[in-house]
Amino acid sequence: MVRSAAKAEMRGIEEQCGVFQFVLLKLAARCNINCTYCYWFRDTSVYALPKILPLEVEEKFIERLRHHITAFRIPSFSILFHGGEPLLFGKPRLRAFCDKLRSLEENTGAEIRKSITTNGILVDEEWSQLFKEFGISVTLSIDGAEAQHNLYRMDFHGQGTYNSVVVALALLRKSGLEPGVLAVCDPNSSPEDLCKTFVDELGLKSFDVLVPDATYDDKVISIENYYKKLFDLWFDKYSYMGIEIRCVENMIRSSMGLPSTTKAIGYGPLSILTMSTDGCLEPLDVLRIAGSGFTRTTYNVKDHQFQDVQNDPKWRDAWHASLNLCEICKRCEFHDTCGGGYLPSRWSKQRGYDNPSVYCEDLKGIFRHIQRRVLPSLYFQPGEMPRST
C-alpha cells in the first residue's frame, strides 16, 4: 500500500517535471589547464570528488540508464561527456564505456547520442578516430583570436593554449569530424575579431558565444553592446555566408515564439540532469557558481534511479524557479522571449532565484535591437493565408 502510494507520487512528479532525456556526465573532476574564469573550480567542493569517474560508478550509471530507457520507453537519450577535462578519463576507459553504451543500444533499441566538450589539449589522431568510431559529437572551447583566447585559457605555467586547440581542430577535421566551437563572451573584446578568426582563419561554419556565468553576487560587465554588434555582423554579413551563430539564432527564435535550443535563452522548464564523478545526481551544472557544494543533492546513482533526484529539495527549487519567474519578469514584455534569463544568472544570496537575470537590462536592450531589425523583414505568405468561406 505504502509502496503503491509512493509509486503514484513518483508518477505525479514525473508528469510535472518530465522524464530526463539528457545527462551531463562528469568523466573527470580535474582539468589539465587553468582557465582564469572556470565556473567548475569556483566550487571548491569539486576537489573532494574522485578525479575520474570510478568504474563502479560507471557500471551503476549504465545499469540505471538501462532501467531508465526501458521503464520510460525512451527512443533517444543524449549523454554529454564533460569535466573538468573529460579526456583525462583516458582512451581505454572511454572506449570500454562506449562499448557498453553500444550494447545498451542493441539491447533496448534506443539511440544513445553522445557528445563531448573538450579543451582540445589532449586530442590526437587516436582520440579523433575514437570519436568517429562511436559517433561522438565534439565541441571545442575556443575564445576567439589567439591573443584573446590566451588571455583566459592558459596552462598551469601561464602559457596560452590557442596553438594546441587549433592543432586539435585540424586533427579532428583530418578524421572527417567538424566540431562545434564554444567561445565565452568577453564584453570588452571585439565581436568583429572573433568572427574574423572563426570564419576567415579557422573556417568554422557554426559556433556559439556564451554569456559569462554570473550571479547577483558577482560584478558583471554589460554584454548589451557586444551581442548587438554580434547580431548585426550575423544579420548583415555572416548569415549570407551560411554561418550559424547559435546564440544569435536562438535569440531570434525565441523572439519569434519558437523554442530555443539551449537553456540559456527562452522560457522553459529545467530538464538537464548532471552526474558528478562520485555518482551524485545534480541539477544544472552551472548552478554551482551560487556557492561551494550548491548543486549537491542527497541522491546518488549508486542508490537511486535518475528520476528520483526530482524529489530532492534543491532540484525541485531549481525546477520550480525555471518555470516561476519573479514579479518583474512576469510583467515584462520579454517574458517568453527571455524566460527570465539563464537560471544561475537569477541567483542572489539575499533572494534566491526570485530575481530577473543579472543581465536583465542588457537582455532587454538586445531583444529590442533584434526585433527592431528583424520586424521590417517579416511578411505573410500570401498563398497560405486563411481564406474566408
Partner 1 sequence: MNKILLNALAASIAAVSIPSDVAVLKEQPLRENELTIRSSHPAVDRLLRAKANVEHDGFDKSCTSSCVNDLR
Q: Which of residues 82-141 bind partner 1 (CB under 8 A)?
A: 82, 113, 115, 117, 137-139
Name which of 9 and 73 has its Cβ closer to partner 1: 73
Task: Please pick, from the candidates 75, 90, 109, 259, the single residue that binds partner 1 as defined by CB under 8 A.
Answer: 259
- Grouping H, G, I as helix, E, B as strand and the rest as coil, residue 258 is coil
388 in contact with partner 1 (CB under 8 A)? yes
Any contact of residue 184 with partner 1 (CB under 8 A)? yes
- The set of cell numbers assigned to 360 is 536583465
- Greatest alpha-carbon pair distance for the chain in Å reads 75
Residues in Cβ contact with 148 at an 8 Å cutoff, skipping those fewer than 6 apart:
186, 189, 193, 194, 197
Name the one range near partner 1 by CB under 8 A: 44-52, 54-62, 262-270, 304-312. 262-270
Q: Taking CB under 8 A as the rule, does residue 260 contact partner 1?
A: yes
Q: Is 286 in the site for partner 1 (CB under 8 A)?
A: yes
Q: Does 246 bind partner 1 (CB under 8 A)?
A: yes
Q: Is 292 in the site for partner 1 (CB under 8 A)?
A: no
261 touches partner 1 by CB under 8 A: yes
Size of interface with partner 1, in residues (CB under 8 A): 79
Q: How far apart are CA 96 and CA 99, in angstroms?
A: 5
Look-up: residue for cell 601561464?
158
Cα torsion through 372, 373, 376, 379, rounded to 10: -100
CA distances from 262 to 13, 160, 270, 295 (A): 23, 29, 11, 20
Q: If binding is defined by CB under 8 A, does position 325 make contact with partner 1?
A: no
What letter would DSSP give residue 266? S
CA atoms of 343 and 321, how far apart (whole Å):
8
Taking CB under 8 A as the binding criterion, the range among 2-10, 62-70, 314-322, 329-337 that sits at the site for partner 1 is 329-337
Cβ–Cβ < 8 Å for 283, 310: no
220, 232, 291, 317: residue in contact with partner 1 (rule CB under 8 A): 220
x/- binding map, residues 143-182, to partner 1, per CB under 8 A?
--------xx--------------------------xx-x
State which of residues 72, 134, 216, 235 lies at the interface with partner 1 (CB under 8 A).
235
Sheet holding 22-26, edge to edge: 244-245, 206-210, 180-184, 136-141, 111-118, 76-82, 22-26, 273-275, 281-282
Q: Which of residues 200-219 bind partner 1 (CB under 8 A)?
A: 208, 210-214, 218-219
Q: Supply the minimum distance, in Å, between the C-beta of residue 8 and partner 1.
A: 30
Q: How many CA atoms lie within 13 A of 37 on its CB side?
A: 19
